[in-house]
Amino acid sequence: MIIINIKENESIDKALKRFKKKFDKTGAVRELRARQAFTKPSVKRRDQVIKAAYKQKLQNEFMK
């Protein structure tokens, strides 16, 4: 459960923004979307490899 303590003289907008940031960090929405459809382990691995190769390519281009 996410708890947000509202400070004195703090607007509700700022408190809501802090709540949204904490909620995003928990990853609840991402997990929900991932659980909507089953992905085979081989597809997950393939996606990880593709993502890692992409990151490596970006890093190599940045270092040049």
Q: How much is the pTM?
A: 0.56
Confidence of residue 59 (pLDDT cuts 50, 70, 90): very high
Domain-embedded: residue 2: no
**Res 1: pLDDT:** 84
34-57 per-position pLDDT tens digit: 999 999 999 999 999 999 999 999
Residue 40 belongs to some domain of the structure: yes
Determine, yes or no, domain membership for 39: yes
**Residue 57, in any domain of the structure:** yes
**Residue ranges making up the domain that contains 38:** 12-63
Question: Is residue 7 a part of any domain in this protein?
Answer: no
pLDDT at position 30, please? 92
Count of domains observed in the chain: 1
Mean pLDDT calculated for residue range 14-19: 94
Radius of gyration, CA atoms only, the chain: 19
